[in-house]
Amino acid sequence: MPVHVLLFDPGSDQEGIHSIEVNGQTVVLLFEAADDAERYAGLLEAQDFPVPCVETLERGEVELFCEQAGYEARFVPAGFMPSSEEDRLLIAPPVKNMDVERWKEQNAAAADPPPPDGSSEDPEVEAFRRRLEGLL
């Protein structure tokens, strides 16, 4: 089943998937409806957040990626109506967002070539990058 996710800089070394923090857990939103994903992206833009691209991927692939990365995948069905404050985060981004410059710096560091001895400076970041590349 296809779902729609929000990606930043798709296809580049800076590529990232949009996530939110809910009760200490990193959550990736999987939208059933492309219109809902586009609306969410527009709300991010209105908060001066970089505009993500809406990408269609297979739900199972994204859920596997999230599981391997230690993230929670949350499916947002078409016409979803929130019943709690936490549910509201599934249709509207939080007011406070991650510092985008810090995210880009982290991604830039992850894109640097490994040291000459062949070891990775941060194996967790390297493994995450490989899993994300595998999704696309």
Retrieve residue 72's tokens.
């929670």
Per-domain residue ranges for the chain? Answer: 2-135
**In this predicted structure, what is the pLDDT of residue 50?**
84
Average pLDDT over the chain, rounded to an integer: 80
Task: Give the model confidence (pLDDT) of 37-46 as tens digits.
Answer: 999 999 888 8
pLDDT in tens, 73-127: 999 999 888 888 888 888 888 765 555 455 455 555 545 544 444 444 566 666 6
Please tell me whether the overall predicted TM-score, pTM, comes out greater than 0.85 for this model.
no
Q: Determine the pLDDT at residue 116.
A: 44
DSSP strands (E only) in the chain = 2-8, 16-17, 20-22, 25-31, 53-58, 72-76
**60 to each of 3, 75, 99, 114, how far by Cα in Å?**
9, 11, 30, 31
Q: What backbone phi and psi angles, to 5 degrees, belong to 37? A: -65, -40
3-state helix, strand, coil in the chain (%, to 5): 40, 20, 40
Model confidence band, residue 19 (pLDDT cutoffs 50, 70, 90): very high
